[in-house]
Chains A and B, each alone.
Chain A
């Protein structure tokens, strides 16, 4: 799991949204390996190589994280905060992908250092478009700093 180049960690508790997101990524030729976790706690374990992901402790971190905000156990903003405050994960581009248009979520996310904030539109077509731009930008155009 730590190999195969570019990796995307998708943190999303809704299986339907996981499916829609994966489909959108696929349609847009973003074929990188995607790891799906369904709650915030698991996301942190994966990122920091703890718990059931202890074997990843010395491995590489994902190239990008797609993060829902409303998550069981540990919410998305907390995951974001932890990532941005740890040396290991600070440089990973994190894109919040959420239903919420609430201003306080947006403001808080940017304050914590999110790289992009995308509201999941109801319309699938629009969603497709958003994911396409996202993939292009963060995976193809934006080289993460070394």
Chain B
């Protein structure tokens, strides 16, 4: 009969077998106990479970039929042991009754278990499929899933569970009590959860449990009960989710928040505070205390207007409204300290909103910018009060700043200039070309005069053009590269320069005229006086001859005066071309040139070794000529004339030297020293010493034009010393 289970068509086989068994049972009962009416009753009792068993699974049916067969065997045995012939009829009836009762009881019991088995058996195929599905579900779960028996022993574990728990061999944990896998401290919780699940169907807890390899992990565990058909808890399923990452993140957030709080509280350079939506102070940090002098206890709960000047308090509300509307609001302004003093604050207000967008409050960050504000104010005043016009022009050529003098020079007021193209200030004919110059400047930005030295013309608001000088300096600002233009109105200076140039031109024309025209009549006088003497000399009486000679002398002197004066004028106008000059050679040359003047005299010249100097040789030669000629002239009465030339470093001006020319001539009275270097100033009469009084004036002018000084010392009758300074050649 057990073979029936392997026959494919279970139901068919089962039916045939069942029929066969029924027939066997009928045969046995009717053959053996047909005389007994009780046999009918047993048959009925017996046939019912037999019939019922046909609806069971082969396994259940087999057990039932086996039980029926055993009963039959018992009844048959009872008959054999107590044959009706040898025993009383009552005894035999009793035996059969007993056999029937046993049969009934067994069958009823089997019927009961058979009912359960039947349910399972009928959906065997579906069940297998469903189990495979459930296994797949369990296996694919990202969590650690365990199946426990109702006592809490671990029956199975999905592979994700092995992985999460870092268990290499599942056998090492299967069969163990679940809580034994947990650390000592958590076991109570786990046991309680199991009990709760058994009682209520489900339980949940979180706990810490390291893996088999000791990796610390946090778990979120749900335990549920799986009930059997009888409604009793059969199995427990636990789903443990690895919470470690989330837990760590939460901890990190908490730590970070804590750090932030501590940091904000300790920031000293900035006041960082929070306001509630009504603008009352909610938090306060060290910076805020430092800036305002208020402690947290004093201000928390106070309105923002506490820090504003009395006149500006209503702006506090507006400020918050702006922030709420714009998202962030930055501004600068004066704020009040507790002691009533002010500080210049840069304030940034940010609204705080929750996930729904509802306003939860504001953060405010203040910085005390008083020092910068003062510096700025000073800078502004500096710019504003500058005697030069100052303009700042941005990359696009727009004016972004102009000072008072700038307004005055161009005749515009500030509003008319700001944000205007700088070309507005140029005469129209230059405007088109100017942007290209600007672009070029921006590319090669460096401080330099505008126009590279060319004369510049600007345009006044009135349309008047005027000359300017403009300096350009690139400046880096937070608004980008700007060009700082310094403008000087040079109208007045140009006018003065032109006046000087005109005066110079006039003077030149004058000297030119003098040079040509003044000499001509003098020459005529001298020339014709000579002709008179040559042609009529013999016929003139001596007195007339003397007069003619006086005329000649006068004319000659006039000629010399004119020449000296022109020379003096030329020295003043000539360009000074400085080059290294070998003074020893120059003195030697001049001394040689003076040979005619010292003819027939003994004049001793001592010259120290002079260092080379930096000077215009042609002009310097005139200095030496005049000084040495003077020395020769004024020593004329000495039998032993001595001239000494020497030098020493100039202690007043580094890099220069003092040259001295000393003689033992007639000297001069020191009190007239002031007249010595004036034009046509003489300390001697013409009949004593010839001269026009221009020589020393020329010396003075040349030395002065070389940046040097010239002076003299003298004593009447004891000689004179002339000093002048020259730049040493390196």
Answer yes or no: B463 CB below 8 A from chain A CBs: no
A102 to B563, CA, bound (A): 11
The reply to whether B559 and A121 form a contact with Cβ atoms under 8 Å apart is yes
The reply to whether A122 and B515 form a contact with Cβ atoms under 8 Å apart is no
Answer yes or no: A70 CB below 8 A from chain B CBs: yes
Secondary structure dominating the interface of B: helix
Kindly list chain B residues whose C-beta atoms are within 8 Å of the C-beta of A20. Answer: 523-524, 527-528, 531
Give the distance to chain A from B114, nearest Cβ to Cβ, in Å.
147
Give the distance to chain B from A24, nearest Cβ to Cβ, in Å.
9
A16 to B559, CA, bound (A): 17
The reply to whether A122 and B523 form a contact with Cβ atoms under 8 Å apart is yes
The reply to whether B516 and A16 form a contact with Cβ atoms under 8 Å apart is no
The reply to whether A123 and B519 form a contact with Cβ atoms under 8 Å apart is no
Kindly list chain A residues whose C-beta atoms are within 8 Å of the C-beta of B566. Answer: 101
Give the distance to chain B from A125, nearest Cβ to Cβ, in Å.
7
Kindly list chain A residues whose C-beta atoms are within 8 Å of the C-beta of B530. Answer: 124-125
* Residue in chain A with minimal CB distance to B557: A122
The reply to whether B531 and A123 form a contact with Cβ atoms under 8 Å apart is no
Answer yes or no: A100 CB below 8 A from chain B CBs: yes
Kindly list chain A residues whose C-beta atoms are within 8 Å of the C-beta of B699. Answer: none
Kindly list chain B residues whose C-beta atoms are within 8 Å of the C-beta of A98. Answer: 516
Kindly list chain A residues whose C-beta atoms are within 8 Å of the C-beta of B570. Answer: 103
The reply to whether A127 and B527 form a contact with Cβ atoms under 8 Å apart is yes
The reply to whether B527 and A100 form a contact with Cβ atoms under 8 Å apart is no
* Residue in chain B with minimal CB distance to A69: B516
B508-544 residues at the A interface, CB under 8 angstroms: 511-512, 515-517, 519-520, 522-524, 526-528, 530-531
Answer yes or no: A120 CB below 8 A from chain B CBs: yes
Kindly list chain B residues whose C-beta atoms are within 8 Å of the C-beta of A103. Answer: 570
A93-146 residues at the B interface, CB under 8 angstroms: 98-103, 120-125, 127
The reply to whether B520 and A17 form a contact with Cβ atoms under 8 Å apart is yes
A127 to B519, CA, bound (A): 13
Give the distance to chain A from B539, nearest Cβ to Cβ, in Å.
19
Q: Given the interface contacts A124-B530, A125-B530, does A101 sit within 8 Å of B524 by beta carbon?
A: no
Answer yes or no: B555 CB below 8 A from chain A CBs: yes
The reply to whether A99 and B526 form a contact with Cβ atoms under 8 Å apart is no
Answer yes or no: B299 CB below 8 A from chain A CBs: no
Q: Given the interface contacts A16-B528, A20-B524, A102-B512, does A122 sit within 8 Å of B517 by beta carbon?
A: no
Q: Determine which of B520, B556, B563 lies in contact with A101 in the assembled complex, contact meaning CB atoms within 8 Å.
A: B563
Kindly list chain B residues whose C-beta atoms are within 8 Å of the C-beta of A88. Answer: none
Answer yes or no: A55 CB below 8 A from chain B CBs: no
Q: Determine which of A17, A69, A99, A123 lies in contact with B556 in the assembled complex, contact meaning CB atoms within 8 Å.
A: A123
Answer yes or no: A50 CB below 8 A from chain B CBs: no
A121 to B716, CA, bound (A): 37
Answer yes or no: A90 CB below 8 A from chain B CBs: no
Answer yes or no: A29 CB below 8 A from chain B CBs: no
Q: Determine which of B512, B516, B522, B531 lies in contact with A122 in the assembled complex, contact meaning CB atoms within 8 Å.
A: B522
- Interface size on B, as a range, is 20 to 34
A69 to B516, CA, bound (A): 9
A100 to B562, CA, bound (A): 11
Answer yes or no: B558 CB below 8 A from chain A CBs: yes
The reply to whether B516 and A100 form a contact with Cβ atoms under 8 Å apart is yes
The reply to whether A16 and B524 form a contact with Cβ atoms under 8 Å apart is yes
The reply to whether A124 and B527 form a contact with Cβ atoms under 8 Å apart is yes
The reply to whether A70 and B524 form a contact with Cβ atoms under 8 Å apart is no
**0/1 per residue, A1-17, Cβ < 8 Å to B?**
00000000000001011
A136 to B556, CA, bound (A): 27
The reply to whether A99 and B517 form a contact with Cβ atoms under 8 Å apart is yes
The reply to whether A99 and B559 form a contact with Cβ atoms under 8 Å apart is no
Give the distance to chain A from B694, nearest Cβ to Cβ, in Å.
15
A101 to B514, CA, bound (A): 10
Kindly list chain A residues whose C-beta atoms are within 8 Å of the C-beta of B563. Answer: 101
**0/1 per residue, B538-578, Cβ < 8 Å to A?**
00000000000000000110111011001000100000000
The reply to whether A99 and B523 form a contact with Cβ atoms under 8 Å apart is yes
A33 to B512, CA, bound (A): 33
Q: Given the interface contacts A122-B555, A123-B556, does A99 sit within 8 Å of B520 by beta carbon?
A: yes
The reply to whether A122 and B528 form a contact with Cβ atoms under 8 Å apart is no
Give the distance to chain A from B510, nearest Cβ to Cβ, in Å.
12
Give the distance to chain A from B554, nearest Cβ to Cβ, in Å.
11
A22 to B522, CA, bound (A): 18
* Residue in chain B with minimal CB distance to A125: B530
A102 to B527, CA, bound (A): 22
Give the distance to chain A from B46, nearest Cβ to Cβ, in Å.
163
Kindly list chain B residues whose C-beta atoms are within 8 Å of the C-beta of A99. Answer: 515-517, 519-520, 523
Kindly list chain A residues whose C-beta atoms are within 8 Å of the C-beta of B515. Answer: 99-102
Q: Given the interface contacts A100-B512, A122-B556, A122-B559, does A70 sit within 8 Å of B526 by beta carbon?
A: no
Give the distance to chain A from B529, nearest Cβ to Cβ, in Å.
8
Kindly list chain B residues whose C-beta atoms are within 8 Å of the C-beta of A127. Answer: 523, 527
Give the distance to chain A from B499, nearest Cβ to Cβ, in Å.
23
Q: Which of B511, B522, B530 has the most CB of A within 10 A?
A: B530
Give the distance to chain A from B107, nearest Cβ to Cβ, in Å.
157
A74 to B515, CA, bound (A): 19
A16 to B529, CA, bound (A): 12
* Residue in chain B with minimal CB distance to A24: B527
* Residue in chain A with minimal CB distance to B560: A122
The reply to whether A23 and B531 form a contact with Cβ atoms under 8 Å apart is yes
Give the distance to chain B from A133, nearest Cβ to Cβ, in Å.
18
A16 to B555, CA, bound (A): 15
Kindly list chain B residues whose C-beta atoms are within 8 Å of the C-beta of A124. Answer: 523, 526-527, 530-531
Kindly list chain B residues whose C-beta atoms are within 8 Å of the C-beta of A121. Answer: 523, 559
The reply to whether B523 and A17 form a contact with Cβ atoms under 8 Å apart is yes
Give the distance to chain B from A55, nearest Cβ to Cβ, in Å.
33
| CB pairs A–B below 8 angstroms (23 shown) | A14-B520, A16-B523, A16-B527, A17-B520, A17-B523, A20-B528, A99-B515, A100-B516, A101-B563, A102-B515, A103-B570, A120-B519, A121-B559, A122-B523, A122-B526, A122-B558, A122-B560, A122-B562, A124-B523, A124-B530, A124-B531, A125-B530, A127-B527
The 7 closest A-B pairs by CB, nearest first: A122-B559, A16-B524, A124-B530, A99-B519, A124-B527, A20-B527, A70-B516
| Contact surface of B with A, Cβ cutoff 8 Å | 511-512, 515-517, 519-520, 522-524, 526-528, 530-531, 555-556, 558-560, 562-563, 566, 570
